[in-house]
């Protein structure tokens, strides 16, 4: 299946495989901005149909996510995990690996970081933080190694295995925290707090904006470098674009698959680790609102391009931080954000050029 | 047989229904060439429509009908995005999950002024139907009798789906489409329409499955009520390699896990580990299938090499 999706150029290969005909060049801005605009339109329809002021709500959303230092800081905090899971997803997608299991790596990484944070308490702050994040990334990668080996060795469809392993990871960490690492002072579902020196300090007073966001941006630069300059990046890209060609020019497909999975899992694990050390300070059963799945939307909306991924992570960060505030100030539920996100995902993979009215519009232009 | 086991099986019968129906729908979709990971939201839409229509009309069977129609229609839209507009089925399926969950999360507080459970006045659940004679068999009776009508329909669906796929022209064309769309199209099969048809069936089956949850198992609606059963159904038809009998077996096993999960929870076995089983079973069974296929390919390659060598020597 992954081969089919890679050949269809789904997620991101588009920019490389699309032949720049006149028609497609006309369509390109629409294809890039389309999912975003359609999602806002769908959201507006839902708001209007339920008797709410759509423009007013969107304006409030903008104000509450970008209208001041605190609001911007909150947006960046919310963008951090989905930037990392977006990069994790994009690495896999560009290599032709349909890894939808970043959520699982995130859970495993988050649990590992929390464990390090409340266990290795004798370590000094910086060392403990680096150790916790490194272990989180390592365990995230190890988790991704399961579907990687199954795919590389026996061609087991990774879509299904990664999807299923997400639930295994969520239930496994839930079991660990509830049966072995329960906080003594709390009834259920939470691990003890990580040591004080393991918590990331705020960059701005009274915000949770930490060095995690800066690191996520640096990882974005590494991601760009990987696919632009590094030879392993070239091998991954070729594997994604055309596996048969890649094999013919001597690329070791099994190795490329495993490397792509490992990087993807590593980033997913780091995303989970930072969320614990920077925001939650403890592992909470079922804590993620789907950061791994939002990462898929981020990677798709950003078309795999580093700048695109940062922009879409900021967009989803703004939606969730602004949406949370709107839920406080008005009677509009945060679920509006899920509606927008689901619409973005569906329309990011729909080929808008196949819609009849778009076709007519292109022919006229 | 010990009473505890019989009791678990009797409880497992209605718990299996929704999984079994959605799995049968997903199986038909899979045979038509589409992996449908949107079974869960399709079930949720069915569960909602069933509750609303049953409450409005006072007739739970109209609720079932509404659930089937709503599931089928949403299935059609979902299918168009894949077959006509080139969407990747997995991403579109994940998107549908988010969209529908978000929609109900928004709708319940805004339109119905409730946070959790929708329990409209006049809501009528499905009656339990006793099968004469069979129901009187000691021990076995409560397992095979005394369920809602959808549970019996779900049992009936297994042989029906099997006959449809392997004995009717439409079913054979559908399987041909799933196996090799280009070849099927070249042979004159309307592949796009067949794939849409298979997704509509998956939607209708899932809608009915959701209605059984909201009118049969309990009589209410909330947005968590499908509880991952759509994904367990996915696990079931992957476990069964998209064949009706094995898929049904998988659905029954997972249904028993679920019914047993509640009992095991009190006996000290962690519920998380019980809930994990269907997902692990899928990963393991997919691996076993792939390993077997792989070793067969290698054997054949070895045999071919040997015959080439023999021909050279000869």
Global pTM value: 0.88
Largest CA distance in chain B: 86
Q: What share of chain B is helix, strand, coil (3-state, %, to 5)?
A: 75, 0, 20
Residue B227: phi, psi to the nearest 5?
50, 35
Asked whether residue A4 carries a pLDDT value surpassing 60, the answer given is no
In chain A, whose CA is at the least distance from the CA of B293? A154
Output the CATH code of domain B3-313: 1.10.3470
Average pLDDT over residues A246-263: 91
Segments making up each domain of chain B, as ranges: 3-313
Asked if the C-beta of A5 comes within 8 angstroms of chain B's C-beta atoms, the answer is yes
Identify the band that residue A21 occupies on the pLDDT scale cut at 50, 70 and 90: low
Q: Using the predicted structure, report yes or no on whether residue A239 has a pLDDT greater than 60.
A: yes
Is residue B95 predicted with pLDDT exceeding 80? Answer: yes
More confident residue, A75 or A21: A75
Residue in B86, B87, B98 nearest the CB of A341 = B98
Residue found under tokens 């680790």: A273
Q: Could you tell me which residues come within 8 angstroms of residue B204 by beta carbon, excluding any fewer than 6 positions away?
A: B25, B68, B69, B71, B72, B75
Q: Which pairs count as long-range contacts for B128-137, CB under 8 Å and 24+ apart, including other chains?
A: none
Cα dihedral A174→A177→A182→A183 (10° resolution): -100
Instruction: Report pLDDT for B164.
Output: 96
- pLDDT band at A22; cut points 50, 70, 90: low
Quick one: which of A89, A100, A11, A46 has its CA closest to A271? Answer: A89
B34 lies within 8 A of chain A by CB: no
Q: CB of B287 within 8 Å of any CB in chain A?
A: yes
Closest-CA residue of B relative to A174 is B272
Q: How far apart are CA A118 and CA A132, in angstroms?
A: 10
Average pLDDT over residues B291-314: 80
* A chain contacts of residue B80, beta-carbon cutoff 8 Å: none
Q: Is the pLDDT of residue A6 over 50?
A: no
CB A278 within 8 A of CB A109: no
Q: CB atoms < 10 A from the CB of B65, how many? A: 18
Judge: A174–B102 Cβ closer than 8 Å, yes or no. Answer: no
Is B272's CB within 8 Å of A175's CB? yes
Q: How far is A332 from chain B (nearest CA, A)?
A: 7
Query: How confident is the model at residue B48, as a pLDDT?
Result: 97
- Closest chain A residue to B291, measured at CA: A154
Mean pLDDT computed over every residue of chain B: 89
Interatomic CA distance for residues A39 and A48, integer angstroms: 14
What is the rounded end-to-end Cα distance, in angstroms, of chain A? 37
Q: What is the pLDDT of residue A355?
A: 76
Residues of B in contact with A164 (CB under 8 A): 231, 235, 279-280, 282-283
Instruction: Look at the alpha carbons of B89, B94, B96, B99 in this order and tell me if their dihedral is positive or negative.
Output: negative
- Interface residue B238 vs chain A (CB under 8 A): yes
Q: Of A150, A300, A340, which is closest to B91 when you measure between CB atoms?
A: A300
E strand or H helix at B129: strand B128-129
Cβ–Cβ gap A331/B291 under 8 Å: no
Per domain, the residue ranges of chain A are 2-364
φ, ψ dihedrals at B128, nearest 5°: -85, 140
Flag the least confident range among A256-265, A304-313, B129-138, B183-192.
B129-138
Tens digits of residue pLDDT in A79-119: 999 999 999 999 999 999 999 999 999 999 999 999 999 99
Q: What pLDDT does B2 receive?
A: 67
B87: nearest CB among A160, A164, A349: A349
Q: Is A336 on the interface with B (CB under 8 A)?
A: yes
Q: Is B35 in the A-facing interface, judged by CB distances under 8 Å?
A: yes
Q: How far is B151 from chain A (nearest CA, A)?
A: 27
Asked whether the beta carbons of residue B95 and residue A343 sit closer than 8 angstroms, the reply is: yes
Q: In the block, which residue shows the tokens 């409340």?
A: A118
CB atoms within 10 A of CB A8: 15
Q: Which residue has the higher pLDDT, B43 or B217?
A: B43
Q: Which of B200, B279, B254 is nearest to B18 (CA)?
A: B254
Q: 3-state DSSP call for residue A55?
A: helix
Q: Please tell me the distance from the alpha carbon of residue B274 to that of residue B252, in angstroms, as a whole number.
A: 15
Indicate the pLDDT class of residue B4, thresholds 50, 70 and 90. Answer: confident
- What are the residues facing B148 on neighbouring strands? B128
Give the model confidence (pLDDT) of A276-335 as tens digits.
999 999 999 999 999 999 999 899 888 889 999 999 999 999 999 998 888 888 888 889
C-alpha dihedral sign at A217, A218, A223, A225 = positive
| Alpha carbon distance A164, A158 (integer Å) | 10
For chain A, percent helix, then strand, then coil, each to nearest 5?
A: 75, 0, 25
Asked whether the beta carbons of residue B272 and residue A331 sit closer than 8 angstroms, the reply is no
- For the cut 90, the answer to whether the pLDDT of residue B102 exceeds it is yes
Tell me: pLDDT of A48 over 90.
yes
pLDDT for res A353: 75
Q: What is the mean pLDDT of residues B88-103?
A: 93
Average pLDDT rounded to a whole number, residues B142-157: 88
C-alpha to C-alpha distances, B9 to A277, B131, B155, nearest whole angstrom: 46, 17, 15
DSSP-assigned beta bridge partners for residue B128:
B148
3-state secondary structure of A306: helix
Min Cα–Cα distance to chain A from B31, Å: 14
Q: How many CA atoms lie within 13 A of A31 on its CB side?
A: 25
Residues A160, B238: C-beta atoms closer than 8 Å: yes
> Does A5 have pLDDT greater than 80?
no
Confidence of residue B314 (pLDDT cuts 50, 70, 90): low
Q: What region, left, alpha or beta, does residue B114 occupy, with left being phi > 0 and alpha being psi -120 to 50 degrees?
A: beta
Total length of chain B:
314
Q: Looking at beta carbons, which residues of chain B come within 8 Å of A357?
A: none
pLDDT, residue A193, reads 93
Nearest to B231 among A157, A167, A336 (CB): A167
Q: Which residue has the higher pLDDT, B142 or A151?
A: A151
Please count the other Cβ atoms lying within 10 Å of the Cβ belonging to residue B309: 10
pLDDT reading at A199 higher than 50: yes
Complex ipTM? 0.85
Spatial CA neighbour of B13 closest among B159, B128, B163, B124: B128
Say if the Cβ atoms of B91 and A346 lie within 8 Å: yes
pLDDT of residue B5: 75
Asked whether B49 and B70 are in contact (CB, 8 A), the reply is: yes
Mean pLDDT (chain A) is: 88
Q: Which CATH architecture fits A2-364?
A: Orthogonal Bundle (1.10)
CB atoms within 10 A of CB A329: 9
Q: Where are the alpha helices (DSSP H) in chain B?
A: 3-31, 39-57, 60-83, 89-111, 141-144, 149-167, 169-179, 181-186, 191-212, 229-239, 244-267, 271-313
What is the Cα A95 distance to its own chain's centre? 16
State whether residue B90 sits within 8 Å of chain A by CB: yes
What is the per-residue pLDDT for B33? 93
Determine the Cα angle at B190 with ends B25 and B243, to 5°. 30
Residues of B in contact with A172 (CB under 8 A): 272, 276
pLDDT at B267 over 80: no
Pick the residue from chain B with its C-alpha nearest to A161. Answer: B283
Chain A interface includes B74 (CB < 8 A): no
- The answer to whether residue A17 scores a pLDDT higher than 70 is no
Question: In angstroms, what separates the C-alpha of A349 from chain B's closest C-alpha?
Answer: 5
Q: What is the mean pLDDT of residues A124-142?
A: 96
User: Closest to B276 (Cβ–Cβ): which among A172, A290, A336?
Assistant: A172
Cα separation, B204 vs B69, in Å, equals 6
In this prediction, residues A16-27 reach a mean pLDDT of 53
Residues B276, A290: C-beta atoms closer than 8 Å: no
Q: What pLDDT does B64 receive?
A: 96
Cβ-based neighbour number of residue B313 at 10 Å: 6
Chain B 199-228, residues with CB within 8 Å of chain A CB atoms: 228
Residue entry with tokens 């296929």: B293
Q: Of all residues in chain A, what percent carry a pLDDT higher than 70?
A: 91
Average pLDDT for A137-162? 95
In degrees, rounded to 5, the angle at the alpha carbon of residue B199 between the alpha carbons of residues B196 and B204 is 125
């Amino acid at each position: 299946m992954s081969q089919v999706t890679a050949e269809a150029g789904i997620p991101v290969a588009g920019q490389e495989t699309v032949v720049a005909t006149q028609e497609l060049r006309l369509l390109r801005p629409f294809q890039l901005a389309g999912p975003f605009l359609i999602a806002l339109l769908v959201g507006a329809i839902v708001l209007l149909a339920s008797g709410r002021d759509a423009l007013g709500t969107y304006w409030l959303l903008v104000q509450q996510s970008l209208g001041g230092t605190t609001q911007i800081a909150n947006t960046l905090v919310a963008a951090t995990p989905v930037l990392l899971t977006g990069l994790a997803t994009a690495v896999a997608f560009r290599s032709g690996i349909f890894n939808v299991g970043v959520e699982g790596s995130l859970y495993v990484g988050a649990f590992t970081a929390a464990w390090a944070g409340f266990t290795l308490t004798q370590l000094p702050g910086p060392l403990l933080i680096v150790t916790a994040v490194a272990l989180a990334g390592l365990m995230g990668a190890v988790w991704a190694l399961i579907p990687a080996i199954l795919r590389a060795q026996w061609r087991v469809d990774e879509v299904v295995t990664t999807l299923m392993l997400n639930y295994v990871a969520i239930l496994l960490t839930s079991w660990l925290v509830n049966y072995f690492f329960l906080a003594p002072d709390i009834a259920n579902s939470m691990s003890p707090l990580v040591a004080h020196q393991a918590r990331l300090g705020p960059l701005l007073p009274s915000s949770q904006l930490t060095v995690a966001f800066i690191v996520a941006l640096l990882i974005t630069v590494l991601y760009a470098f990987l696919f632009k300059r590094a030879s392993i990046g070239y091998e991954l890209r070729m594997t994604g674009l055309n596996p048969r060609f890649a094999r013919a020019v001597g690329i070791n497909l099994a190795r490329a698959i495993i490397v792509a999975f490992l990087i993807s899992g590593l980033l997913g694990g780091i995303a989970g680790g930072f969320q614990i050390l920077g925001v939650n300070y403890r592992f909470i059963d079922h804590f993620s609102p789907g950061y791994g799945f939002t990462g898929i939307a981020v990677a798709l909306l950003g078309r795999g391009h580093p700048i695109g991924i940062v922009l879409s992570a900021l967009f989803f960060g703004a939606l969730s931080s602004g949406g949370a505030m709107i839920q406080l100030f008005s009677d509009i539920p945060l679920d509006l954000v899920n509606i927008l996100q689901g619409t973005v995902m569906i329309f990011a993979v729909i080929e808008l050029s196949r819609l009849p009215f778009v076709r007519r519009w292109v022919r006229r232009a | 047989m010990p009473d505890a086991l019989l009791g678990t099986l009797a409880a497992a019968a209605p718990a299996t229904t929704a999984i079994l129906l959605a799995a049968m729908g997903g199986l038909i979709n899979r045979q038509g060439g589409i992996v449908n990971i949107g079974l869960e939201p399709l079930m949720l839409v069915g569960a909602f429509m069933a509750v609303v229509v049953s409450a409005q009309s006072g007739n739970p069977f109209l609720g079932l009908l509404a659930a089937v129609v709503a599931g089928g229609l949403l299935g059609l839209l979902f299918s168009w995005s894949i077959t006509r507009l080139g969407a990747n089925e997995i991403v579109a399926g994940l998107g549908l999950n988010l969209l529908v969950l978000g929609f109900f999360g928004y709708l319940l507080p805004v339109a119905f002024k409730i946070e959790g459970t929708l329990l409209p006045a006049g809501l009528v659940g499905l009656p339990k139907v006793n099968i004469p004679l069979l129901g009187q068999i000691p021990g076995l009776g409560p397992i095979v009798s005394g369920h809602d009508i959808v549970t019996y329909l779900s049992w009936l669906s297994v042989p029906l789906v099997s006959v449809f796929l392997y004995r009717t022209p439409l079913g054979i064309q559908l399987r041909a489409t799933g196996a090799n769309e280009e070849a099927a199209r070249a042979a004159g099969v309307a592949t796009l329409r067949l794939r849409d048809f298979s997704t509509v069936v998956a939607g209708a089956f899932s809608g009915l499955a959701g209605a059984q949850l909201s009118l049969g198992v309990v009589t209410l609606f909330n947005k968590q009520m499908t509880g991952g059963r759509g994904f367990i159904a996915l696990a079931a038809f992957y476990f069964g390699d998209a064949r009706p009998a094995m898929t049904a077996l998988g659905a029954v096993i997972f249904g028993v896990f679920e019914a047993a999960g509640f009992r095991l929870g009190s006996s000290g076995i962690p519920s998380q580990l019980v809930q994990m089983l269907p997902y692990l079973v899928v990963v393991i069974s997919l691996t076993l299938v792939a390993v077997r296929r792989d070793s067969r390919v290698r054997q054949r390659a070895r045999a071919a090499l040997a015959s080439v060598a023999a021909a050279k020597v000869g």
